[in-house]
Structure 1
Amino acid sequence: MVRSAKLVSMIPRDRLVALSVVVLWGLNFLAIHYSLDYFPPFFLGALRFLVIAVPVVLFVPRPQVPVRWLVLYGVGFGTLQFVCLFLAMHLGMPTGLASLVLQSSAPFTVVLGALLLHERMTVRQIVGICVAVGGMALIVIDRAGHSAAAGVVPVLLTVAGGLGWAFGNLGNRLAKPADPLSFTLWMSVVPPLPMLVLSAAVEGPTTGWVALWHSPSSTAGLVALGGLAYTVLLGTIAGSGLWSHLMTRYPSSTVAPVSLLVPVVGIAASAVVLGERPTALALAGAVVVLGGCLAGLTGARRTPSAAPAGESVQLPPPSAPARA
């Protein structure tokens, strides 16, 4: 049995909360940029989750969900997404565009839900996904025209990061955690070990640790630590906590589309602070991507409720937006 989900408007206070999260997550890409100026990308990814994982294991009760779904969420959202995203930005992916291309996680989530969970897709979602893919193609064409293959690889890596995020969304959906924030925090336990192994193999076993040891003695190191602190405290803990609060009060179809403002903040902040100037073609691609994602997010108007075994249900908008 499937019931309709009503569209519910946020009260003014919660709209302010939602916009605050958008700003926190949009500025998070700037914090990552400055951290990557000092730390190697794979080590930074491991460090980002390690500083969360240690207190979580000590002080936060483990959510009562199957371990396999927690691992899927951690591998998809944590490991795959940030390995690809941090490497892409390290290789030259513009900060603002990174915040935009990572939105590919939303249509990827819908497609994976249809392919792996046998959930139905609406015509509007299919059209939205096709539109978003067209926008991504415009960005790839623009990057190829300006930087040849070196400009395309970071875009493709960022898209791969969005795919990793989508697999993480499936783990989140299958786990059905009673406490989404606790589930998100415990996800941080999964990525550090594989990321540290990857860092040791690719960047050197001591490279990242030496950089961390010397970071307080240089301006670049202190800025990188500040960026890391922002990512952990504001981007992850505060942002995820406020977002989880909104998700408990409103349907995902009301909250999720707000996340499309994240790349708007990311692109604007990167233009002001870093002097990034996207080309007209890249901006056109950005508008097309956002339009396609918005159609995909708002295309599902029904949520599952006690569906009989074996009956397919429709995938609602992803409960967590693409953030870094």
Structure 2
Amino acid sequence: MVTSTASTSPNRLTLWLALTSVYILWGSTYLFIHFMTEHMPPLYMASIRFLVAGTLLYFYARLTGTARPSREQVVSAGAIGVLLLTIANGCLAMALQYIPTGVAALITSTLPIFLLTLNWVSFGKTRPSNLALGGLLLGLTGIFFLIKPDNFQGVGSANASLIGAGFIMIGNTSWAIGTLLSPRLALPAQIMSSGIQMLAGGIVLMLISFCIEPVSLDTITVAPPKALGALLYLVLFGSIIGFSSYSWLARNASPQLLSTYAYVNPVVAMMLGALFAGESLSPSSLIGAGIVVAGVVLITLGRNR
């Protein structure tokens, strides 16, 4: 687990540029995943994204002197890649076929609930604080308001919200397991590890895509310009620049400051979805959004104590 270990205070301008990058770039990925998969098979396009980004990160790490990883490190990083990227991000790509990007971002932002619960019952056996437990209950209440079927008229069938939310719940569980498992495994240097994770996640996603989607290796050649532009954006800004900014913050910013991205990203996603995808939230969804954000804030405060 990467923690803030810098012995000197980082440059304030660099700090806020990195934080703004994570706020905006990661908040925008929901909209661009929607654009990328709007007329293309979602798992196939997600696999292309991670294969390209992983290849770039891996060779960058090697060219800048990072040592070749051991077999154990490759296996460990690959396993984390399957949990975080194949399952979690693959589920997100599928979820966005059923629910609006802003709602997807809000449900995804409940990840602290999954981390808290799994660490309590399995990994750490640590009982959360009362404040964090209050946040847990608030977050679950907010999810109920978000996924009520009558909030999604015009988005798809009456069950679309439940299907989309179900995918994200599976993805959040997998992301939480991968996050809690990472400190317990032997992983290579950070950029090398991320490159291997993306390559492993992308390869497994591609294999799954071949099994369940009508695709071949050259399907990318028929992708519309909008999908290709979104793919390029996600590779460069979502996977490489956004990840690099987050990694720098993990080493140089306080956990309290870094954790704020969890409740800023959904706001960015909702604004972009309303502006560029014609999405809107019902009054019930807006209530749910506020409850979810409040729950995540309480969990964050309780965890930091």
Instruction: Give TM class, smaller chain.
Output: 0.7 to 0.9
Query: Residue 22 in 1 paired to residue 28 in 2?
Result: no
Structure 1 stretches lacking a partner, 5+ long: 216-220, 303-324
User: In the alignment, which residue of structure 2 is the partner of 1:313?
Assistant: none
Match of 1:185 among 188, 195, 209: 195
Task: State whether residues 151 and 281 of structure 2, in contact with CA within 8 Å, keep that contact through their aligned partners in structure 1.
Answer: no
Paired AA for residue 236 in structure 1: S
Paired AA for residue 265 in structure 1: V
> What is the root-mean-square deviation in Å for CA atoms of aligned residues?
2.5
User: In the alignment, which residue of structure 1 is the partner of 2:129?
Assistant: 122
User: In the alignment, which residue of structure 2 is the partner of 1:48?
Assistant: 49
Task: State whether residues 69 and 174 of structure 1, in contact with CA within 8 Å, keep that contact through their aligned partners in structure 2.
Answer: no
Match of 1:152 among 156, 162, 165: 162
Moved over 3 A (4+): 9-12, 55-59, 61-69, 142-147, 175-182
Match of 2:281 among 275, 278, 283: 278
Partners in 2 of 1:294 and 1:99 — Cα distance? 15
Match of 2:92 among 85, 89, 92: 85
- The superposition leaves residues 154-206 of structure 1 with CA deviations (integer Å, 9 ceiling, x where unpaired) of 12212222222212212333348684444323210211222122111111352
Partners in 2 of 1:83 and 1:35 — Cα distance? 13
Shift of 1:44: 1.1
Partners in 2 of 1:173 and 1:289 — Cα distance? 28
Bigger mean CA offset, 169-178 vs 192-201? 169-178
* 297 and 231 in structure 1: CA distance in 2 versus 1, 3 angstrom threshold: same
Query: Residue 106 in 1 paired to residue 107 in 2?
Result: no
Number of equivalenced pairs: 287
User: In the alignment, which residue of structure 2 is the partner of 1:198?
Assistant: 208
| Percent identity of equivalent pairs | 24
Query: Residue 171 in 1 paired to residue 143 in 2?
Result: no
Partners in 2 of 1:133 and 1:173 — Cα distance? 27
Q: How does 1:1-324 map to 2 (within 5 A)?
A: 12-13=12-13, 14-60=15-61, 61=66, 66-67=73-74, 69-90=76-97, 92-120=98-126, 121-143=128-150, 146=153, 147-175=157-185, 179-206=189-216, 209-215=217-223, 221-301=224-304
Shift of 1:66: 4.3
Structure 2 stretches lacking a partner, 5+ long: none
Task: State whether residues 85 and 157 of structure 1, in contact with CA within 8 Å, keep that contact through their aligned partners in structure 2.
Answer: yes
Bigger mean CA offset, 56-65 vs 257-266? 56-65
Partners in 1 of 2:96 and 2:299 — Cα distance? 26
Query: Secondary structure in 2 aligned to 1:189?
Result: helix
The two structures have a TM-score, normalised by structure 2, of 0.85
* 145 and 238 in structure 1: CA distance in 2 versus 1, 3 angstrom threshold: closer
